[in-house]
Amino acid sequence: MSTPRPSFNSLPLQQDGPRGNAWGLFGDQDQLGKLNLLTPENTVAAAREITDGVRVSTDWALDSMATPCFGRSAFQHTVKNKAPRPVNDDVLTFNTQSSSQWDGFRHYGSKEGSYYNGCSLEDIQTSTRNGIHVWVENGGIVGRGVLLDYAAWAETKGVAVNCFTTQSISLSTLQEVAASQNVSFRQGDILFIRTGWTRAYEQLSAAECQQLADFKAPPVIGVESSEEMLRWIWDEGFAAVAGDMPSFEAYPCQNPDFFLHEWLLAGWGLPIGELFDLERLSQECRKRDRWSFFFSSVPLNVPGGVASPPNGVAIFYVFPRHKFLLLIHLFKIAACWEKMVHGKNAMQRSQDRAIGRSMVACNRCRNRKTRCAGNPPLPCAACVDVGHICVYSEAEKRVSITESYFRHLQSQARASREPSSQHDLSNIPSTALAVTRPEGEVPLERDDWWYKGTDNLFLNRSGEHQFVGASSTTHLAKRLNPSSTNLAWDVRPLYDDPSSLRRPVEDALPQLPPFQFAKRLFWVQYAYIGTIFSLIHPAQFEERLEYVYHQPHDFSHRETCLIYCQVLLVMAFGLMYSVNQWSGDDGPPGFKYFKHALRFLPDIHEEGSIFFVEVLCYVAYYMQNLNRRDAAFLYIGLALRMAISLGLHQEVSNPDISEAGRNRRRRAWWSVYSLDRLLTVKSGNPITLHDEDIGTTWPSAPDGSTPDTWPSIVLIHYTQLSRILGRIGEEIYRKKPRSGSSLIMSMQSITDALSSWLRQAPGGLRIDFSTLDSHISRETVSINLHFYSCVNMTARPLVFYVIQRRIDAGLLGKTEDWKEGLASNTVAVIDSCITAARATTLIMDAAAKKNLIATYGYLDGEYIFSAALLLVMVNAAFPYNEINARAMETALNLLRSVADRGNSYLSSRHSLLLELRAALGPRPNASANVVDDKHIPVSKVPTTPTSNQAPTPGFQEGSDIPSIPDDVWQNPPEFPSIQDVSFQFDPNDDSALWEGALHQIDIDMDTDWIENTLRR
C-alpha cells in the first residue's frame, strides 16, 4: 500500500514546529517516523529477493576506534571467569555511537530544542518517549537496502576522495552514481552510501587517529547539506539512510539552515546510520553487478535508548543463469507442443487461463509490485533497462516434438525475419532492444489478447469489444509489429487485481487521516484541478469535512452518502497528486479512499442534483487516472446527462434562484462539459452533445458583468479550449464523408479559434518562456498544456502524412529540405505542430523542477507522450535540427522519470517510443548538413505573445526557486504564438497532399504509420 505523503513544498506540517518538520504525518503520538514506511508488504517484497542466501554483516567492530571522535568514550571489554566453575561472563562498557550506529530520535533536536513529533527535553529526561526500543518492538529496520558506492565511482572517474576533509557529495553526483549502477529507488528503501572512510581510517597510524579524535569538530567527508538533497531524500521516500563516515553529512556542516541531522532526526523521524562497514558489501554488490539486497537490523532493546549498534546484515539474491536458460527453453517447447497438438483455439484458451492467473509478470516486476510489459520468454523492458535477468516463474512441462516439426518451425522463424534482416541495427540503442534471437529460435505468440485486427474495436478482459476512435492514442499500439513487447499497455488499469473495485467494502468509513492533513489534501487537489474544473468551493468542502469528522455517521440518506463520497474522493485525489514515488500492490495513491467512495455513491436512479453531478465528475476523472477510460467515459456521460436533466445547460428565468445559485449552476455545467469534451475526445469517442444545444452563459459577477474571481477566469478559458478540442475531435478525427478542401477549411477555422483564444487570454494565464524558471504555477501549466495539445492535435495528421511520404521515398536520415515542394501555409502548419511539442516539453520540464507534475495524473502523461511521439518522428524523418533533438531527449527523459516513480502505464509508453525510435534507424547527427528552421531563430529566448506578462497568480516574490541549469537549453528557440502565424489556406495549394492526409485519417493513419515503420 502507498503511504500518504505530502509534497516537500507543503512542509512544515506543524506550523509551530521547526522548519521543514513532518510532525503528525503518522499521527500525533507516533514514535516510528519514516520507519512507518517499512510495511509488511514492503518486507515481503524485499524478502522475495533472497535466493542464494549470501550474508554480509554491516557492523564495524566495536573496538575499531581506539579513541572515538566527538569526545566519546572508547569501547572496553572485560571477561570475568566464575571460578571454580568453567563459566565466563563478559562486561561491555561503550558509547553506543563509538562505532557502527543508528542515531535515534532522542539524539539530535532542532534549533528550538524540540525533538521528533514535539518531544521535549523534559520528555527525554523523564520518560522513554522516542526511545530506540520502539523500533525493536516494531520489528527493527527490515526492508530493501540500496548501496550507492561513491568511493568506487570516484575511483573509476579519477575523482579525488579526501575522507578527512569537509568534502561535500552533491545530489547530482549521487544521481550520477545511481545512474552508473542502473539503480532505481522505491518508497521504503534503506539508502547506504559508501565513501571509503572506514577503510581509510584503518590505514591511519595510532598518532593520526588520536589527532583526528582531538578535533572538537573533526572534518569528514559526507553528503551535501542542502535543500535539494533534503528534497531528494523526501521525494524518494527513504525509510532510513546510512553511510560509512562519522557524520552522514559533510562535517562541519557548511549550510546550517539545512543541517541534515536536524531535518531528518528531529523533523522527519528518519534514522541516520553512521560508521557502517560497507567494504565487503561493496565487493558482493560489484561481484553481482547488483546494488540492492534484503537488509535486516535489530538495534539494542534499551528503553529510552538514544542510539544503538545496528546489528545489521545484508542478504543477497542471484538467479543462476543455467536455471534462467532452462526456464526459457521449457516455455518455448511447451508453447510449440500445445500449438501443434491442440491448434489455435487451444492456444487461445491457454492464454486466457494465463491471464486469469496473472502470470504475465516476471519475478522482478512481481516482487516490485509493478505491472510488467513482458512477453515470455523475452525479457521485459524494465529488466533490460537495469541489466537484470528477467525470469518468468510459470510451471511448465517437458514435452517432446518431432525433429521434422522443429525444422519446420525454424524455417518459419527465418522467413518471418528476412524482411528486417537487411537493416543495420548496430546503431540502435541497447535500451530499445529487448533481445536478439539466435538463429532458429521460435518466436512466441504476442501478449495481444485484447487485439483482433478490427478497425475500431478492442477486446477487454471480459471478451467484450470496446470502440476506440481515431483521435485516441490507443491507435498508436493497435496493430504493432508482432515482436513488440509493449502491446497491451493501453488497456491495463493502474491496479493489479481486476476485482479490486468489485470487492464488498464494509458499511463504514475507512481510517481517515488527521483533520488538518485532510485539509491539506484538499488544497493539493485544488491546485491541480480545483480551478480548471469548479466542482466544490473551499468553504463548502470545509463544512462537509467538519461534518464527516465531527458528526455521527449516517449512511441511510443520499445526501450524507454524497458528502462521504465527495470527501473520500477529494482525499484520493489529494494523495494522488501528493505522492510522486509509489510502489504498491493495491493501486495508485489514494486508491483505498476511492474504493470506499464508490461504496457511498448513490444509485443512478435516485434523484439527481448538482451535488450528484459534481461527485460523478470526480469519479469519472479518477477512473481516467486509473486508465479505466471505458468507465470514465460512462461516468462522465452519466454526469452530463444528469446535468442536462437538471437544465444546467440552459439559463433559467425562475426569480427564486439567486445570482449565486445561477453561477453555481453555470460553474457546474461548464465543468462537466469541459471534462466530458476531454475524456470523450482523448478516448476517441464521438461527441454526444453539440454546442448549438447549449444556452447557458459563463459565470459572472453579481452585477452580471465579467467574471468576479480568478478561479472563474481560469475555468472559462480552460473550458473554451475544451470546446475547441471538441471541434478538433468532430471535424478532423471523426470519420464521415468529406473532401480534402473541407479538411482545409476545418483546420483553418480551428486555428483561427486557437489564435483568437490566445489573443484574448489574460496575461496571468500566459507563459513567458524567458521567465519559465521562476514565473510558473500549476494553473498556467494546466491551461498552456491544454492549449498546445490542441495545436498538436489539429496539425498532427498533416505532419504524420508528410513524414510518411518521406519514409516511403527512403529519405530517412537524408538532408533534403522537407519543406521543398510544400506551400508556405502548409509548412507553417507543420512548424506550429513541432513548436507546440517543443513548448509542451519546456513547460513540463520546468514544472518537474518545481514538483508540479502529477506523477500519476492522466493529462500530464498524455501531453508529454504526445509531444515525445511527434518529436521522435520529426527527428527521424526530417534533417537534423539540434533544437528538436534536445527537445526529444528531454521529453523522453521526462517520460522515463515519471515511469521510474511507479507509473507503469507511462513506462510502457516510454518503451514503445524507444522501440519506435530504434525501428526508424540511426539518427543523423550534428555533423551532417543541417537544414536550419528559417522560422525559428536559435539565438533568442523563448517568448509567448506578450513581453509584459503579469506575475502568475499565487507566485510570491522572493520565494526560493531553484534555477534551471544553463546547459539544459543552450540557444533556446523562439516560440512564435499561433496568432503570429497566418493560416490563410488556398484550397488549390497542395491539393493532392491534403487529399492524401485526409485518406490517411480515414484508414487510421497513426496506427498504420507506426505499424509500417516497425516493420521496415
| Average confidence (pLDDT) over 414-432 | 40
Q: Residue 57: beta bridge partners? A: 313
Give yes or no for residue 238 having a pLDDT over 50: yes
pTM for the model stands at 0.52
**Between 753 and 438, where is the model more confident?**
753
The average confidence (pLDDT) of the chain is 76
DSSP tally for the chain: helices H, then strands E: 30, 15
Of 454-463, 537-546, 623-632, 742-751, which range is least confident? 454-463
Placement of cell 525479457 in the chain: 379
Q: State the Cα–Cα distance between residues 786 and 840, nearest whole angstrom.
A: 9
Q: Is 240 helix (H, G, I), strand (E, B) or coil?
A: strand
Q: Which of 658, 670, 663 is nearest to 694 (CA)?
A: 670
Return the pLDDT at 967.
36
Give yes or no for residue 386 having a pLDDT over 60: yes
Give yes or no for residue 341 having a pLDDT over 70: no
Return the pLDDT at 989.
55
| Average confidence (pLDDT) over 59-69 | 91
Return the pLDDT at 494.
59
Of 123-137, 443-457, 955-969, which range is least confident? 955-969
Q: Is 155 helix (H, G, I), strand (E, B) or coil?
A: helix
Q: Residue 295: beta bridge partners? A: 143, 314
**Between 477 and 644, where is the model more confident?**
644
CA distance to 659, 699, 725, per residue, from 704 (Å): 8, 9, 28
Angle at CA of residue 964, ends 962 and 969, nearest 5°: 175
| Average confidence (pLDDT) over 199-226 | 91
As a 3-state breakdown, the chain gives helix, strand, coil percent values, each rounded to 5, of 50, 5, 45
Q: State the Cα–Cα distance between residues 223 and 214, nearest whole angstrom.
A: 23
Of 414-418, 519-523, 811-815, 937-941, which range is least confident? 937-941
| Average confidence (pLDDT) over 943-959 | 31
Return the pLDDT at 701.
58
Return the pLDDT at 655.
79
Return the pLDDT at 825.
75
Of 491-505, 591-605, 899-913, which range is least confident? 491-505
Give yes or no for residue 138 having a pLDDT over 90: yes
| Average confidence (pLDDT) over 624-640 | 89
Give yes or no for residue 217 having a pLDDT over 80: yes
Q: State the Cα–Cα distance between residues 938 and 886, nearest whole angstrom.
A: 12
Return the pLDDT at 309.
96
Placement of cell 486557437 in the chain: 754
Return the pLDDT at 568.
94
Return the pLDDT at 59.
95
Tell me how crowded residue 119 is: count the other CB atoms within 10 A of its CB.
20
Max alpha carbon distance in the chain (Å)? 114
AA identity, residue 112: E
Return the pLDDT at 813.
59
Give yes or no for residue 401 having a pLDDT over 60: yes
Return the pLDDT at 52.
67
AA identity, residue 314: A
Of 68-82, 464-478, 792-806, 966-980, which range is least confident? 966-980
CB 902 within 8 A of CB 857: no
Percent of the chain predicted with pLDDT > 90: 35
Return the pLDDT at 333.
47
Of 258-262, 265-269, 458-462, 852-856, which range is least confident? 458-462
Give yes or no for residue 479 having a pLDDT over 50: no
**Between 813 and 822, where is the model more confident?**
822
Return the pLDDT at 607.
82
**Between 930 and 815, where is the model more confident?**
815
CB 942 within 8 A of CB 772: yes
What letter would DSSP give residue 695?
Answer: -
Give yes or no for residue 963 having a pLDDT over 80: no
Q: State the Cα–Cα distance between residues 59 and 99, nearest whole angstrom.
A: 8
| Average confidence (pLDDT) over 716-737 | 84
Q: Which of 269, 257, 290, 276 is nearest to 107 (CA)?
A: 269
Which domains does the chain possess? 8-315 (3.50.30.50), 321-458 (no CATH), 500-734 (no CATH), 789-953+970-1016 (no CATH)
Give yes or no for residue 399 having a pLDDT over 90: no
Return the pLDDT at 291.
92
CB 578 within 8 A of CB 522: no
Q: How confident is the model at residue 36 (pLDDT cuts 50, 70, 90)?
A: very high
Give yes or no for residue 849 having a pLDDT over 90: no
Tell me how crowded residue 550 is: count the other CB atoms within 10 A of its CB.
8
Q: How confident is the model at residue 921 (pLDDT cuts 50, 70, 90)?
A: low
Q: State the Cα–Cα distance between residues 735 and 133, nearest whole angstrom.
A: 68
Return the pLDDT at 980.
45
Give yes or no for residue 688 having a pLDDT over 60: yes
C-alpha cell at 26: 503518522
Q: How confident is the model at residue 66 (pLDDT cuts 50, 70, 90)?
A: confident
Give yes or no for residue 723 having a pLDDT over 80: yes
List phi, psi (to 5°) of 575: -70, -40
CB 310 within 8 A of CB 276: yes
Q: State the Cα–Cα distance between residues 168 and 250, nearest whole angstrom.
A: 5
Give yes or no for residue 947 having a pLDDT over 70: no
Q: How confident is the model at residue 618 (pLDDT cuts 50, 70, 90)?
A: very high
Give yes or no for residue 659 having a pLDDT over 90: no
Q: How confident is the model at residue 348 (pLDDT cuts 50, 70, 90)?
A: very low
Placement of cell 569501547 in the chain: 75
Give yes or no for residue 939 having a pLDDT over 90: no
List b or e across 35-65, with b for residues whose CB sees 16 or more CB atoms inside 10 angstroms. Answer: bbbbbebbbebbbebeeeeeebebbbebebb
Give yes or no for residue 231 having a pLDDT over 70: yes
Give yes or no for residue 766 having a pLDDT over 90: no
| Average confidence (pLDDT) over 382-406 | 61
Read off the pLDDT of residues 152-169 as tens digits, 9 standing for 90 and up.
999 989 999 999 999 999
Q: Which of 363, 370, 358 is nearest to 447 (CA)?
A: 358
Q: Which of 944, 913, 845, 33 is nearest to 473 (CA)?
A: 913
Strand 141-149 and strand 190-194: the pairing is: parallel
Q: How confident is the model at residue 580 (pLDDT cuts 50, 70, 90)?
A: low
CB 308 within 8 A of CB 132: yes
Return the pLDDT at 416.
52
Return the pLDDT at 331.
46
Q: Which of 833, 857, 840, 834 is nearest to 785 (CA)?
A: 840
Give yes or no for residue 121 having a pLDDT over 80: yes
